[in-house]
């Protein structure tokens, strides 16, 4: 049975296949349809990233909540919140970098 998390063999064809798979996944995250311009896909994916970047330990309890889960959440918050703060900072920096790169690409395309 193949392992979905196995590391691919290093080689040019494996890298190309992985890159192609990543491109398809990014395209699939945006609006679907052949007539949708790439700029619209980019804006849609960017909008999704804006909604999802601020992660936090404060999430509603799904399923059977109960008082035990509420207490455990409060007790574990001190442990997980610093990692979430680091992730929020990273997400913010990545989005700003992507915006900068997109702006540079647009400037180059205009030239």
Q: What is the 3-state secondary structure (H, E, C) of 61-100?
A: CCCCCHHHHHHHHHHHHHHHHHHHHHHHHHHHHHHHHHHH
pLDDT for res 62: 72
pTM as predicted: 0.54
Taking only the tens place, the pLDDT of each residue in 83-111 is: 988 998 998 899 899 889 988 998 999 98
């Amino acid at each position: 049975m193949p392992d979905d998390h196995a590391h691919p063999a290093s080689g040019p064809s494996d890298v190309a296949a992985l890159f192609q798979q990543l491109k398809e996944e990014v395209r699939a995250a945006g609006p679907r349809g052949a007539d949708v311009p790439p700029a619209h896909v980019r804006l849609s994916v960017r909008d999704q990233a804006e909604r999802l970047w601020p992660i936090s330990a404060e999430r509603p309890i799904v399923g059977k909540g109960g008082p035990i889960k509420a207490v455990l959440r409060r007790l574990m918050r001190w442990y997980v919140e610093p990692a979430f703060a680091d992730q929020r900072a990273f997400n913010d920096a990545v989005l700003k970098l992507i915006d900068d790169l997109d702006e540079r690409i647009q400037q180059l395309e205009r030239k």
